[in-house]
């Protein structure tokens, strides 16, 4: 037997009938629609889309924020339009896997505004960092400032991005229907 919420039946939105999510949502169908729409346009109003009043949507969104499901709202900026023409990744390998090495490098990289993302990884590299700069000379300056001469770093490897093929921050939101067929 399939289960549906009243909004999905009303809107004939059966696209998610086999999709499942276990999130702390009041009505997973409505909240999943809201999350999907927010990922497309964080400034859009959702009331008409899910069949609720603006105040009901606002209360639901506040609950999702408090639950930590929605972490914030951001504008998507164009790196090239703002003069950041070079995107690069830096892989870092430590001499040893001591936690102090992570902590020291993290402090250095957090102080660099051109370092956008930092990941601790498995495999032969310990850290991968995403960097954006205006010119290659700026990248060279950042490498010398952040990595060269650090006695805890064994090796770095850099990769310059030639062309971005895909960019998405959209998670595959799925809902578990809650009402009966």
Kindly list the domain boundaries of the chain, sorted by start residue: 6-66, 80-160
95 vs 104: CA distance, rounded Å: 13
pLDDT tens, residue by residue, 169-181: 777 776 655 554 4
120 vs 118: CA distance, rounded Å: 7
| 137 phi, psi to nearest 5 deg | -65, -35
pLDDT tier for residue 3 given thresholds of 50, 70 and 90: very low
3 vs 18: CA distance, rounded Å: 10
Distances (CA, A) of 140 to 91, 131, 144, 146, 162: 15, 11, 6, 10, 17
Contact 128, 91 (CB under 8 A): yes
Rg, Å, the chain Cα set? 22
**Average pLDDT for 126-137:** 96
* 80-160 is classed CATH 3.90.870.10: no
Which residue did the predictor score with more confidence, 157 or 102?
157
pLDDT tens, residue by residue, 85-123: 999 999 999 988 888 888 999 999 999 999 999 999 999
Q: Would you call 100 helix, strand, or coil by DSSP?
A: helix
Phi-psi region of 61 (alpha: psi -120 to 50; beta: other; left: phi over 0): alpha
Q: In what order do the strands lie in the sheet with 153-160?
A: 115-120, 127-133, 86-94, 153-160
Q: Are strands 115-120 and 153-160 parallel, antiparallel or unpaired?
A: unpaired
Mean pLDDT across the chain = 78
């Amino acid at each position: 037997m399939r289960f549906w919420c009243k909004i999905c039946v009303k809107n004939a939105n059966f696209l998610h009938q086999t999709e499942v999510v276990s999130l702390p949502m009041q009505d997973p169908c409505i909240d999943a629609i809201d999350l999907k729409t927010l990922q497309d346009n964080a400034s859009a109003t959702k009331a008409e889309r899910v069949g609720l009043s603006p105040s009901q949507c606002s209360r639901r969104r506040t609950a999702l924020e408090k639950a930590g499901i929605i972490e914030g709202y951001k504008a998507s900026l164009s790196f090239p339009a703002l003069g950041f023409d070079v995107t690069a990744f830096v892989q870092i390998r430590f001499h040893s896997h001591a936690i102090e090495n992570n902590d020291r490098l993290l402090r250095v990289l957090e102080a660099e505004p051109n370092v956008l993302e930092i990941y601790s990884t498995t495999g032969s590299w310990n850290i991968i960092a995403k960097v954006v700069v205006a010119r290659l000379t700026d990248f060279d300056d950042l490498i010398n400032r952040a990595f060269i001469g650090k006695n805890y770093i064994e090796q770095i490897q850099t990769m310059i991005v030639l062309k971005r093929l895909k960019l998405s921050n959209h998670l595959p939101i799925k809902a578990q229907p809650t009402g009966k067929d």
